[in-house]
Amino acid sequence: MDNKVYIESGAIEAYVLGLATAEERAELEKLREQDPAIALAITQFEMELEEKLLNEAPAAPASLKNKIWQELASTSTQAPVLPLSSGLIRPIWKWVAVAASIILVGSLAYIYILSDKNKKMQEEYASMLAETNDLKLQNELVAAQLREMQKGMSMLSDPGVAKVSMPGMGTHQQNKAMLLWDTKTKDVYLMPTDLPPAPQGMQYQLWAMVDGKPVDAGMMGDCSVVCTMKNIPKAEAFAITLQKQGGSPEPDMNSLYVMGKISP
C-alpha cells in the first residue's frame, strides 16, 4: 500500500489512541522503522494530540495545579515499554497518562470552583437571614408600640380611668409623666411622656402615697408608651424616683423626678 494512502487511512490515529489490534500495531511499528514518512506522521499526530489535550484542559488555580502535579509526580509509575531491541515506547500509555492527568486537574478545579461558589452562597444566605430577622424584630417592636399607644388612647378617653398629671420636681422641672388609675380594677398604668433614659445600673420606680407613707407601685421597664405597674387599691398621690436597678424598699427623695396628687 502506498504510504500516503496508509497515512490517510486512520491507522496511525488508531495506533496512537490505543484502538488498533495487536496485528495492526505490529504492522505499523514495522513500517515505522522502514518508512520515515510514516514515522514522521506518527510523531506529528502525537504532538497534535498532546497540544489539543493541554489547550482544552479546564483552567484551575495555580496553587491547586502545582499541588496536583506534585502528587502525580510522586505516585506515578513508568509506562510499560517494549524490549529495548525494538527501540519503541508504546505511545498509548503516554497519552492515557496525559489525558488522565488533565481530566483529574479539570475535575478538581471544577470541584474547587463549585465549593467556592457554594461557600459564597451560604454567606449570602446567612447575611439575608440576619437582615430578615432584624427586620422582623423591628416590626415586632413597632407593633408593640402601636398596641401601647392604642391602649393609652383608649384609657385616656375612658371616664372610669383617673388621669393624674405628674409635673417635674426640684431640679427636674423639665420632666413630666402621666399616670392612669383604673378606679374600678385599681390597675395602674404609667405614661413616661417626658422622662430621660435611666443611666446604666439605674431604674425608675413608682411610688403610691398611702396614708402619708410611700408604697412601692412597681419598676418602670423598657415600655415606651404605656407601662403596666402594680395594682394600688388606694392612694393620695403618686411619685417617681430614680433608684438602683431592681428598686428599693424606700424611695430616695433626693432623686425625686415627678409627683402628682389625685384630685378628690
Show which of 92, 112, 132 is a domain's final residue: 112
- Residue 47 burial (10 A CB sphere; 0-12, 13-18, 19+): exposed
Give the sign of the dihedral formed by CA 192, CA 195, CA 198, CA 202: negative
**What is the domain count for the chain?**
2
Q: What is the pLDDT of residues 42-59, one digit of tens each?
A: 888 888 877 776 665 555
Return the pLDDT at 82.
42
DSSP E strands in the chain: the ranges are 161-167, 176-182, 188-194, 202-210, 213-219, 227-228, 237-244, 256-261
Cα–Cα distance for residue pair 191/154, rounded to 1 Å:
13
Inside any domain, residue 27: yes
Inside any domain, residue 14: yes
Q: Running DSSP on this structure, what letter comes out for residue 254?
A: G
In terms of domains, do 7 and 104 share one?
yes
CATH number at residue 220: 2.60.40
CB 169 within 8 A of CB 162: no
> Nine-digit cell at 45?
499526530
In terms of domains, do 165 and 253 share one?
yes
pTM of the model: 0.46
Show which of 54, 87, 112 is a domain's final residue: 112
Q: What is the pLDDT of residues 240-261, one digit of tens each?
A: 999 999 999 999 989 999 999 9
Whole domain around residue 16: which residue ranges?
A: 3-112
Of the candidates 167, 161, 169, 213, the residue with the CA atom closest to the CA atom of residue 188: 161
Binning pLDDT at 50, 70 and 90, where does residue 138 land? low
How much of the chain exceeds pLDDT 70, in percent? 64
In terms of domains, do 32 and 91 share one?
yes
